[in-house]
Amino acid sequence: MEFSMHELYILINQPGPLWLVEADLSRAKLYSANLSGANLTRANLSGANLTGADLSGASLSVANLTRANLSMANLTGAMLSGAKLTEAKLNAADLSKANLNEADLIGAELLAADLSGADLTGAVLSEARLGGAKLHGAILCRAKLNGADLLEANLCKADLRGADLSEANLSGAKLSGDCTP
């Protein structure tokens, strides 16, 4: 299902969580939208502008967010398992406690993003840019971080069992010591 800009405006201004399963919101302009708790399972949000949007607690499982802009978005506790976030911009986004199991984040930008306590089991972050990201206590078991830039990232207490860090840049990354998030 596709929506006009007017229909989108009406939808996101309705009370209560939205049900937008399999909706086509590609290239939609949803900056600062309140989509908290929305069900966007299998939705197409490729190329959408969600800068500063509130997606806390939203379900985005298996959603297509390729090249979407989610900079400064609130994705606290969001369900993004199996989501496609290839080349998405998530700079300064709050993904703390988000579920990103098996998510595709190839080439994504997560500069200064907060992924504290996030579950990235089996996620693919090849060539992702995570400079200054907070991954304190994140679960990165079997994650593919090959070629990722983790410059000055906080990986204290992160679970990296089975993770592929080949050719990753870990310069200045915090792996132990003072683990203040």
The model's pLDDT over 86-98, given as tens digits with 9 standing for 90+, comes to 999 999 999 999 9
Q: What is the pLDDT of residue 58?
A: 98
Report the pLDDT averaged over residues 105-117: 98
Domains along the chain? 1-175 (2.160.20.80)
Q: What is the pLDDT of residue 175?
A: 87
Distance CA 181, CA 165 (A): 22
Phi/psi of residue 7, nearest 5 degrees: -65, -40
pTM over 0.85: yes
Distance CA 142, CA 64 (A): 22
CB 130 within 8 A of CB 109: no
Q: Bridge-partner residues for 144, per DSSP? A: 124, 164
- For the cut 70, the answer to whether the pLDDT of residue 50 exceeds it is yes
45 contacts: CB under 8 Å, gap ≥ 6: 25, 26, 28, 60, 63, 64, 65, 68
- For the cut 80, the answer to whether the pLDDT of residue 10 exceeds it is no
Q: What is the pLDDT of residue 179?
A: 57
